[in-house]
Amino acid sequence: MKWEDIDQQVCSVARALSILGERWTLLIIRDAFRGTRRFDAFQRSLGVTRHRLSERLRKLVEEGVLTRVAYMDRPVRYEYRLTRKGLALYPVLMTLSQWGDDWLDDGNGPPEQYRHSRCGKITRSVLSCDQCGEALRPEEVSVQRGTILTAYLEELAEQGQNIPSDGEVARGAAQFWRDNGSE
């Protein structure tokens, strides 16, 4: 499978990576959360080439993560603002930042800390169950197949076919979805 086809898998991580997995993309989004909106400001902050930045911004706009808003008429100039889809990435950035602080700080502590404005305290992100509120730990969470994977595997069983490996299941289910998704 080629990287540009990664979004064809029936896998939420693969689909997210098809938008967010390229170099610079998460740093652009990080800067957008910090209030950066204009092309030149992104470029100054990141040091990325104009061409690469333009590519990444265009993709984020196409995917609905950012929107372009004109801030000047003559000549027309645009700034980039996070959409609701983009704002929904905040927990991802918080968790990724915390992972970097915990595992990659070289013993120097986190370069930045996050203060919760309501209570005034320094905070860390916590992933918790939306049903009971308890913190989620990897050993206490299991993955279960969703609707499309279940339907795909039932179809294979009905046809007497062998169950493929996990990677093949994701690709096969994607094709199954394309063929049967509208039913």
Q: What is the pLDDT of residues 64-76, one digit of tens each?
A: 999 999 999 999 9
Q: What is the pLDDT of residues 92-147, one digit of tens each?
A: 999 999 999 999 988 888 999 999 999 999 999 889 999 999 999 989 998 888 88
Question: SS3 for 54?
Answer: helix
The pTM of this model reads: 0.81
**Orientation of helix 25-33 relative to helix 39-46, angle to 10°:** 110
Structural domains in the chain, CATH included, are 3-87 (1.10.10.10), 91-140 (no CATH), 147-180 (no CATH)
CA distance 163 to 59: 36
Q: Is 38 a residue whose pLDDT tops 90?
A: yes
Buried/exposed 151-179: b ≥16 CB within 10 Å, e otherwise: bbbeebeeeeeeeeeeeebbbbbbebbee
For residue 83, the 8-state DSSP code is -
